[in-house]
Structure 1
Amino acid sequence: MKDQSSALPRAFVFGIAGLLLLGCSTLAEKTPARAEIKNVIMVIGDGMGPQQVGLLLSYARQAPHGVLKNHKTALDRLVAESGRIGASLTYPDGALVTDSAASATQLASGKFAKTEMVGLDADGYPAESVIEKARRWGKATGLVSDTRITHATPAAFAAHETHRSRETRIPEDLLAANADVMLSGGLDYWLPQAAAEKNSAIHREMEANIEHAFRIGSARKDGKNLLNEARKQGYHLVFNARQLRQASGKTLGLFAGSGMSDGIAESLNRRNAGHAEPTLAEMSEQALKILERNERGFFLMIEAGQIDWASHRNDTGLLLHEMLRFDAMLHKVLDWMGGREDTLLIVTADHETGGFGFGYSGKNIPAPTTLASGHVFKPNFNFGNPEILDRLYAQKLSYHDIFAEFDALPPNQRTAAALAERVNRHTEFKISASEAASILATEANAGHRPDHPSLSEKTVPKLAAKTAFFVYTKDNRENLLAELVGARQQVVWASGTHTSTPVFVFAKGAGRAVEPFASILHHTDVGRLTIEALRPEDTAD
């Protein structure tokens, strides 16, 4: 595919969420003489477009009782510490919109990729990743994610598969890539089928190994125990926060059967000193401690992956907590960097998800007020009270967990009133029983869950059907709930899927290394710049 960056203007102003970007020129013009870079850290907020960054910044600046110190985020800190800001297009080969597999492949390799393929270029050949190159150059490597290590983004940095769904094959690819540190969820994809049987020896062994921190299962249909293969390759296996703190060498950490806990749960975990599941910040901090021991340097990819999951479900309260999880992790990375001149930090996203935004509406228009000047202030629209930000933070369960709690009820108790009670108990944006009934009726008529009692199109008002851009039907109820409370949250969502919105690129490090990122790029450019920065000066490739 033709590189389109040469047609870009020499200077532009890019203003989203209050951030100003000036003085950009083409990638070729911006590339300086090589800088002495020993380490590269790439942080990816999956689904974190300018809109999601804007939510974090709005919360930091405007929440009346916000939890962030001095109303500042880690991104503010990054920029204040001589960071740079750019923008990057995310599209894959032959399509307008990317998925995480293609986008992460482009970031990892600097080559165009097709959607849903992992670690393959646009022609279907293996694309050597920065992880693989770094190992050839004698550097340490690491992958950290709060999803699961076999998921699209971490997999794209070390695996080569024709489809991202091949998650039972991806662990073998990860072992072949031989990264020094891999920390995430996804244990079920490493264990043999027998691990799902409670009376099996492997099940009992694993329960003891994980110290009963989470449920043991298996996603495999064969007898392979890939943990044994990992041990043979010298990996130290860890399964909870205590074990992770003791890790010092080559480490594989798997802290959940599938995805790790969501951002709301992690916010609660941070208050409990004895929490079993490590936070994203703790995983990142320990990975840095291990990798920094390599005198030749390292490459580390850290993914805040559940920003994407919250955005797919249009769950704004959960999204806020995911952004706060990202923020806490980035502070740890910046703490480690300090004033180092040998490290390049790149913070970006693989794509934006959901088309999120705060908007003004014609509902609940504030009453006129008399100002100190004596003038009457009478808005024509409702532009949103910043107190909404505190109410979003106060959410106690994700929409996903609210519906899971509802589904656990006996069938005859799964009533609209029962759903409304749970929404109202766990969130600050209340719904009525009739509104809950509209959610259940809509999904029942769509054929998703016809077993809900006492629901019919004739007796219950029907919400607008979620169709073309809400493709994950198992989450349809969550999108419907988001639509229902949107006006109360002052929130709009455009989609349940990804968008083509360009994403930010934040960079910090030695001046000559960061300057090329202060431009309008494509993710293949970001990938190539990353590889070039990490490559030792005495190495041709």
Structure 2
Amino acid sequence: MMKLNIVAAAIGVTLLAGCNDDTNTVIETVEVIVEPTPVTSVKNVILMIGDGMGAQQVGLLEEYARRAPNSIYNEQGNTTALTKLGMAGDLGLSLNAPAGANGSLVVDSACSATQLATGMAAGSEMIGLDDQGNIVATILEKAKAAGKATGLVSDTRITHATPAAFASHQPHRSLEAEIAAELISSGNVDVMLSGGARVFLPSDIKDNAAQQALMAELGAPSSVYKKSKRKDERNLFIEARDDHGYSLAFDGEQLDKLESDKVLGLFANSGMDDGIAYSACKADDSCTQPSLAEMTQKALDILSADPDGFFLMIEGGQIDWAGHDNDAGWMLHELLKFDEAVAAVYEWVKERDDTLVVVTADHETGSFGFSYSRNDLPEAQQLSGDGMQGRDYKPNFNFGALTILDRLYAQTGTFPDMRAEIEAGSGYENATGAEWAEAVNKYSDFKLNENEAASIAEREINDYYVEGHSYLSATEFPKINDFKEFYVYGDEIHSDLIGRALAKYQNVVWGTGTHTAAPVPVYAFGPKGVTSGFSQMQHHVDLGQKMMAALLPE
């Protein structure tokens, strides 16, 4: 008997052989599974950046969602949008330090975003330049040149380091007035939704009644045009509308009504509402600013109308601000706000096969973590398990009660709100421990007494004085007793001291007031032929190159 086995490029191929008296021939049907050609390119790319969102911050979000007794995710199966995206896609890690000849160990947002945007090494604090200072086309600019629609969304300022790096080219991130003009004049960004009106306003807006009336006529509330950070008399809102065809929006209602394919929406003079303020206005339906999720949805509605596809970058930028302040309660609310935006993207993309979504961070901020301690040791308790052998369950240390998660969520104001109480009263130089305790206890569910808050008030001579420096030119700094070199932001360090004072009650530790070099998570959703390449240890330069290869294949 002869058996025929043939590999065929088809499914269900029937093999027929002739018969004669000498040979018994088997007729066999061979089912061959043909692997389809992998999809390696996409029509759209959505990049979401949780600024400062390292694995530690993701852990805070997930612990709250899954295990807080009163988690707001209880009715959603205790599942975050990040988890849903990760389960449906691929997960990886990414290093993020400045690469190249002028590299260093720790990155700032400008360099990190530039490396994501260009797929090339960049230097610290530069915008849209390679590590030698050369202008490099970004993925957004290349997408625009290829006929695709483009957008930038952030809850910070549109000229802040992360969004700026995708559509501007400047030697330093602080040049926000120049960045604003470049964003408008280049015509490369179709949709810009964020805060940061202050660098679009003429320098005399505070005293110029005619300009104030003009802004009011455009529909801007006074909170948006209250001050300028420009040094000239240009009104970039007027230039954007009259010279470059942008429709303008200054609140959520105006944005919702717009039906334009070119939109500039700036909803705050500087940064937009923080996550705690957003949670409060959401609860009583009093929000006037659009949320990060609402801005995201509007951008998707506009950009997806382009038949050629789009590139969209969305930043949850205030996770980083909370991390700099060592404020765990605020940081939790920012993570929740960002996860809402991830949910909006996931709902839009989950049934599609033409879009790559990448969610990552530019870096980790604060060296945050939960930790066990010798404070408030647990009481002994009896357990029913047959392995206890008559012994009580009594751990040696305090490993952190789950109720801490609910109490972090219960915080009603940020550490900057607490500082504002002091600034409006005695001022930093004269404030007492009692005054700091009162300011903290007004907003925090964890309470301090006068003695515990005394350390927040302490100040000292700045040992690292640098004349003309934006922060280090201060002769006096809040007093940090350990790792003081890593707390750099002048009087804002009082926020970090609040974090230190509350730490023992929150089971929280912080290592720095700046960034760390920890690898950050990468979530990739889309065609498997695209996303599988993200499931590894990589660098942000690699992420940039992979996104460009998927969106703009040669």
> The TM-score by the shorter chain falls in which range?
0.7 to 0.9
Match of 1:183 among 190, 193, 200: 193
Deviations 1:428-480 (A, max 9, x none): 1111112223211x2256599xxxxxxxxxxxxx8625621111122111111
Equivalent residue number for residue 127 of structure 2: 118
Query: Is 2:443 aligned against 1:397?
Result: no
| 8 Å contact kept, 1:443–1:476 | no
Per-residue CA distance 1:100-135 (angstroms, 9 max, x = gap):
000000000100000000000011101110110001
Flag the 1:125–1:463 CA change in 2: closer, same or farther, 3 A.
closer
Q: Does 1:228 align with 2:238?
A: yes
Provide closer, same or farther for how the CA distance between residues 391 and 226 of structure 1 changes in structure 2, counting only shifts above 3 A.
same
Question: Which of 79, 90, 93 is equivalent to 2:96?
Answer: 90
| Alignment partners' CA distance in 1, 2:497 and 2:536 | 38
Instruction: Report the alpha carbon displacement of residue 362 of structure 1 after superposing the two structures with TM.
Output: 1.2
- Scaled by the length of structure 2, the TM-score of the pair is 0.85
Which of 39, 42, 51 aligns to 2:44? It is 39
Query: What's the counterpart of residue 345 of structure 1?
Result: 357
Give the counterpart letter for 2:82 in structure 1.
L
Given that residues 184 and 253 in structure 1 are in contact (C-alpha distance below 8 angstroms), is that contact kept between their aligned partners in structure 2? yes
**What letter corresponds to residue 350 of structure 2 in structure 1?**
G
For 1:3, the equivalent position in structure 2 comes to: none
After the TM superposition, which residues 313-392 of structure 1 pair with which residues of structure 2 at under 5 Å, given as runs? 313-373=325-385, 374-392=390-408
Aligned partner of 1:86: which letter?
G
1:476 to 493, 497, 513: 493
What is the aligned partner in structure 2 of residue 22 from structure 1? Answer: none
Aligned-pair CA distance for 1:33: 5.5
The answer as to whether partners of 1:141 and 1:181 remain within 8 angstroms in 2 is: yes
Match of 2:498, SS state, is helix
1:319: Cα distance to partner? Answer: 0.5
The answer on 1:159 being equivalent to 2:162 is: no
1:476 counterpart letter in structure 2: I
Q: Which runs of 5+ in 2 are unaligned?
A: 1-36, 465-478
Structure 2 Cα separation of the partners of residues 492 and 465 of structure 1: 13
Change (3 A) 1:531 1:211: same
Give the superposition deviation at 1:274.
4.2
Q: Unaligned regions of 5+ residues in structure 1, if any?
A: 1-31, 449-461
Identity %: 48
SS in 2 for 1:257: coil
Please state if 1:494 is matched with 2:511. yes
- Matching residue of 2:3: none
Q: Distance in 2 between matches of 1:421 and 1:238?
A: 39
* Aligned counterpart for 1:60 among listed residues 65, 68, 79: 65
Helix, strand or coil: the match of 2:216? helix
8 Å CA contact 1:207, 1:216 repeated in 2: no
TM-score by length of 1: 0.87
Within the candidate set 281, 287, 294, 2:293 is matched to 281
Residue 515, structure 1, aligned to residue 524, structure 2: no
Q: Does 2:85 align with 1:78? A: yes
Distance between the aligned counterparts of 1:369 and 1:58, measured in 2? 24
Q: Does 1:200 pair with 2:217?
A: no
The one-letter amino acid paired with 1:193 is S
Q: How does 1:139-158 map to 2 (within 5 A)?
A: 139-158=148-167
Please state how far the C-alpha of 1:425 moved relative to its aligned partner.
2.0
Query: For the Cα contact (< 8 Å) 2:525–2:531, is it kept in 1?
Result: yes
Contact 1:206 1:216 in 2 (8 A): no
Query: 1:117/1:177 Cα in 2 relative to 1: closer, same or farther (>3 Å)?
Result: farther
Distance (whole Å) between structure 2 residues aligned to residue 155 and residue 64 of structure 1: 40
Alpha-carbon contact 1:213-1:240 (below 8 Å) kept: no
* Partner residue in 2 for 1:12: none
1:173 Cα offset (Å): 1.7
Asked if 1:306 is matched to 2:318, the reply is yes
Write out aligned runs for 1:214-225 (5 A). 214=224, 216-225=226-235
- Check whether the contact 2:483–2:512 (CA below 8 A) recurs between aligned residues: no
SS at match of 2:362: coil
2:257 to 219, 239, 246: 246
Determine helix, strand or coil for the equivalent of 2:283.
coil
Contact 1:143 1:302 in 2 (8 A): yes
Quote the residue 2:267 is aligned against.
255
Give the residue type in structure 2 aligned to 1:495: T
For residues 225-279 of structure 1, give each alpha carbon's deviation from its aligned partner in whole angstroms, at most 9, with x where no partner exists: 1112211111001000000101222100000101111111111122243421111
From the superposition, tell whether residues 253 and 417 of structure 1 become closer, same or farther in structure 2 (CA, over 3 Å).
Answer: same
**Residue of structure 2 equivalent to 1:6:** none
Q: The residue matched to 1:227 in structure 2 has which SS?
A: helix
Residues in 1 aligned to 2:233 and 2:214: alpha-carbon distance in whole angstroms: 15
Structure 1 residue 200, shift from structure 2 partner: 2.2
Summarize the Cα distance change of 1:339–1:241 in structure 2 as closer, same or farther, 3 Å threshold. Answer: same
**Out of 114, 136, 145, which is 2:145 matched to?**
136
